[in-house]
Amino acid sequence: MIAIDTNVLLRYLLADNASQHKKAKAIIDNQSPVLITDVVLVETVWTLTGKRYGLDKSAVCTLVRALVGDGLFIFEDSQVLWSALRDYEESKPVRGKALDFADALIVNKAHFTAENKGFSLSAFYSFDKATEQLKGAKKP
């Protein structure tokens, strides 16, 4: 197994720098499996939804599904990722604020981690209005 950072994944996906794309492709295509950590995935989505690339929610969901469905890539916990993706995809803006993929992953990871440590997560506190629609979310 190897792991890659956000920039390697972005160059692989975007091919917006020919030299770096070639190197990223060589690294990824010649190794199996390739670990994409939660942090790398969140940074990738954040970059792709930003001003420069402007991907919308639908495009992000398609991309994440493609990465998870590609047997070449391994994630920290695919079930948590699928749950976060579902929450993100089904979310609606709350008082004008859309849910970010990162927030959906943070909440789902909190539930997963608590359960794996033998606890039940009784609440998830956030100032972000959009998280209100997620399981256990409360305002501080």
Mean pLDDT of 118-140: 94
- Residue 10 in this model has a pLDDT that exceeds 80: yes
> Is the bond into 33 cis (omega within 30 degrees of 0)?
yes
Taking only the tens place, the pLDDT of each residue in 40-93 is: 999 999 999 999 999 999 999 999 999 999 999 999 999 999 999 999 999 999
Res. 6: pLDDT tops 90: yes
Can you give the pLDDT at residue 31?
76
Residue 107, both tokens: 């909440």
How far is CA 62 from each of CA 71, 85, 138, rounded to the nearest angstrom?
Answer: 16, 10, 29
Backbone angle region of 108, left / alpha / beta, with phi > 0 → left and psi within -120 to 50 → alpha: alpha
Domain boundary residue, one of 59, 75, 91: 75
Statement to judge: residues 102 and 70 lie in one domain? no
Q: Are residues 118 and 128 in the same domain?
A: yes
Domain around 60: 1-75
Question: Alpha carbon 28 to chain centroid distance?
Answer: 19
DSSP classification of residue 32: S
83 and 126 belong to one structural domain: yes
Same domain, residue pair 97 and 29: no
Q: What is the pLDDT of residue 49?
A: 96
Domain shared by 123 and 85, yes or no: yes
The mean pLDDT of the chain is: 96
Same-domain pairing of 4 and 71: yes
